[in-house]
Copies of this chain bind each other. A is one copy, B any other.
Amino acid sequence: MQQRQTKGNWKRKLHEIIYEADTPMGKWFDIILFLIIILSIVLVMLESIKSFDKRYHTYLITAEWAITVFFSLEYIARIISIKKPQRYIFSFYGIIDFISTIPLYLSLFFGGAHVLLAIRALRLLRVFRILKLVRFMGEASQLKEAIKSSRTKIAVFIYTVLILSVIMGTIMYLIEGEEAGFTSIPRSIYWTIVTLTTVGYGDIAPVTDIGQVIAAIIMILGYGIIAVPTGIVTVEFAKQGGKKQHIDINTQVCPHCNAEHHKDNATFCYNCGNILNEQ
Residues on A facing B (Cβ under 8 Å):
41, 44-45, 48-50, 114-115, 118, 121, 124-125, 127, 136, 139-140, 142-143, 146-147, 152-158, 161, 163, 166-167, 170, 173-174, 183-187, 189-190, 193-195, 197-203, 205, 209, 212-213, 215-216, 219-220, 222-224, 226-239, 241
Q: Give chain B residues whose Cβ lies under 8 Å from the Cβ of A114.
A: 174
Determine the residue in chain B with the shortest Cβ distance to A195: B199
**Cβ of A33 to closest chain B Cβ, rounded Å:** 17
Cβ contact within 8 Å between B228 and A226: no
Q: Give chain B residues whose Cβ lies under 8 Å from the Cβ of A154.
A: 224
Give the interface SS of chain A, mostly helix, strand, loop or mixed: helix
**Cβ of A251 to closest chain B Cβ, rounded Å:** 18
Copies of this protein chain in the complex: 4
Partner of A143, one of B115, B153, B205: B153
Partner of A139, one of B140, B143, B152, B167: B152
Q: Give chain B residues whose Cβ lies under 8 Å from the Cβ of A198.
A: 197-200, 223
Cβ contact within 8 Å between B238 and A233: no
**Cβ of A170 to closest chain B Cβ, rounded Å:** 4
